[in-house]
Structure 1
């Protein structure tokens, strides 16, 4: 019993003590909050309000005033620099971020952030050599991946394909993602550049690299076959394109006619025609019809294949081929398929388009359903504009 009373006394004594500590902690937090608000320049909050209201010009003026009142605040400088960049005032953005980098008291994390912002300024301004140097300075920092991705875009834009392939390979090794197909494109571009300079051995090596990094990619096989065909090695070109036909039949359509010409040149007409017919049964295409016409140009065979194409997959391209032949050669059902193809192609052009926002509709509207503008629809359809 004595023990319970003793415990109760301590409990009653502890409640007011705990309350006092809580009250003191809340007062401390309130004082700290008031001090922070007092220390933060009022123009900063004014600038934020203007920015939220999309008044960028006035927001910039407010942030400049805030920076003048508190020149040591790096967050204010970043806000001002980003605003300048968004406004296209790249020179002023560069000055703000270079000023940050020149501060000896800037912490390492803030310095890296300023370096990244400066690199973005240079990139947006089109100063690619300075942007490259700025992004390279970020290697090994928390901005490393972001910098490498930016460098990859920079190298692709400036057509520095070897540097792009090297950067993409580093990104893949770092676990950022799969860049195999992209790297294959880079080496294909290297091959094209080498062929233009007459450096055919370098082009061969580049295509080999492209195939090694992305065996599934279609473009190396397309280029390989084209290079072999130009060199008169049509049998080898057919081998490359046959592999392409098996791996990527959709991409094979890009070289179907070249494939047929190489087949004629190498005496493989029958085998090539059989392969194209089999592919056409699975994937009807006007490109395959044109290729088969190279292998079997007899008028009757061409008309039969074209009529079958119009029945199964009417298109404007097939309709043009029909119109190139005399009407007497058209089978009876071809005229109906021809009308179907034209109607299908014309349907998207029979719409009305709002001049204010581009909203399209089959019916005419006096008020646009998209932007609610009045009288914004020209009273003519798209194909008549």
Structure 2
């Protein structure tokens, strides 16, 4: 009985202590909020209402009255950079770095933000110098990512490889696909300079980095062709099917030219038609269509595109069928067919684009690195209309 009475008496005591603690916390919070400048809340409200111009004006007033507020300088600098006022952002972050009382952690933060300003402004040399100072700080991973972007912009592929490996070793995620692409870039430069042996050595490293890299396989075939080994190139290009069936469209013309060079064009057509049955593609149809006209005549080519149009009804296919019809159309309907063909062709020109799966950037030609977002291997090897039909 005494035990239960003791607990009943203790309840009001505990409640009172909790009330006192809450009052103390509330008073502390109120006192802290009163010390914040009024402009801070105004600026925050403008930001929440998506009014960055008014937010900047409010934050500038705070900085004028309290120039020691480092956090406000960071907010202001970032707002300037987002608006494209890079010179003002640079001045804000340089002013922060010039303060002798700035803690080391905030110095590194200011250094990083300054590097991002330089990067946004296109001052790549200054950005690189700034990020190099951060490699041994808490901003090391962010600095390496920025350096990797710089080296790619400058097409310094060897330094990009070194930077990507540094990111991997720091635990910032795998970069094998990118490293393989960097080796492919170096190999492509070597092929342009007619140095096929160097290209083969670089492509071997690309394959070691990413065994499923389709581009490396295609370039190995190109290097073999440059050395005069046509049969070897054909064998290599045929391996693309094992890596990615849709990508065979990218080597279709190479294969057809190769089989013509060794005197076996019909074998090439048969191979490409088997690919077409497995993975239809407008680019593949284009190559087979021309080859069939050359070997089997217009009627066989028309039958080919008619069959493909039934399997995959697209305007791109219709455009190709009209082209085949025009080749032997009677004179009395030729002009009418030609008008329809021109109308369809004009429309399909806008649709026959490759599209980045990450940012949506469209291009007439196929890119391994998207010109819009700079990501690698984001272009499906099919035209946009074909992808829309498939989806």
Q: TM-score, normalised by structure 2?
A: 0.74
Residue of structure 2 equivalent to 1:233: 229
CA contact under 8 A between 1:257 and 1:294: conserved in structure 2? Answer: no
1:142 matched to 2:138? The reply is yes
Q: Counterpart of 2:100 in 1: which secondary structure? A: coil
Unaligned runs of 5+ in 2: 331-336, 352-391
Cα distance in 2 for partners of 1:112, 1:185 equals 32
Shift of the alpha carbon at 1:70? 2.3
Pick the aligned partner of 2:291 from 294, 316, 326: 294
Using the TM superposition, give the Cα deviation of residue 134 of structure 1 relative to its aligned residue in structure 2, in angstroms.
Answer: 2.3
**2:204 corresponds to 1:208:** yes
Tell whether the 8 Å contact from 1:228 to 1:236 is kept in structure 2 after alignment.
yes
Work out the CA distance in 2 between the residues paired with 1:231 and 1:327.
45
Query: Is contact 1:309-1:318 (8 Å) kept?
Result: no
| Partner residue in 1 for 2:328 | 326
Q: How does 1:211-360 map to 2 (within 5 A)?
A: 211-292=207-288, 293-294=290-291, 297-299=295-297, 300-314=299-313, 315-327=317-329
Structure 1 residue 87 displacement after superposition = 1.8
Which deviations, in whole Å up to 9, do the C-alpha atoms of 1:43-85 show, x marking residues without a partner? 2222222333333333222212212322222211111111111
User: Aligned residue for 1:365?
Assistant: none
Q: What displacement does 1:148 show?
A: 2.4
Deviation for aligned residue 1:212? 1.5
The correspondence of residues 33-52 of structure 1 with structure 2, limited to 5 A, is: 33-52=29-48
Structure-2 change in CA distance of 1:229 and 1:43 (3 Å) = same
Structure 2 CA distance, aligned partners of 1:163 and 1:78? 31
User: CA 1:71–1:20 in structure 2 vs 1: closer, same or farther (change >3 Å)?
Assistant: farther
- Kept after mapping to 2: 8 A contact 1:90/1:125: yes
Name the CA shift for 1:8/1:66 in 2 (closer, same or farther; >3 Å): same
Gaps of 5+ in 1: 329-334, 350-385
Q: 1:241 to 1:65 in 2, by over 3 A?
A: same
> For the Cα contact (< 8 Å) 1:286–1:317, is it kept in 2?
no
CA contact (8 A) 1:225 1:238 kept: yes
Q: In the superposition, relative to structure 1, how do residues 304 and 48 fare at CA in structure 2: closer, same or farther (>3 Å)?
A: closer
Residues 124-166 of structure 1 deviation map (CA, whole Å, 9 limit, x = unaligned) = 1111122222223332433333332222222222222222222
Q: Aligned to 1:297, what secondary structure does the other structure show?
A: helix
In structure 2, what is the Cα distance between the partners aligned to 1:308 and 1:9? 92
Aligned equivalent of 2:66:
70
- Structure 2 CA distance for partners of 1:269 and 1:170, relative to 1, 3 Å: same
**For the residues of structure 2 that align with 1:55 and 1:287, how far apart are their CA atoms?**
48
Secondary structure class of the residue paired with 1:215: coil
Q: Which has the larger radius of gyration?
A: 1
Whether 1:97 and 2:97 are equivalent positions in the alignment is no
Distance 1:23 1:303 in 2: 88
Partner secondary structure for residue 154 of structure 1: helix
C-alpha contact (below 8 Å) 1:244/1:251 kept by paired residues: yes
Any idea what SS the aligned residue of 1:221 has? helix
* TM-score normalized with structure 1 length: 0.75
CA distance in 2, matches of 1:247, 1:8: 79
Give, in whole Å, the separation in 2 of the partners of 1:288 and 1:54.
Answer: 48
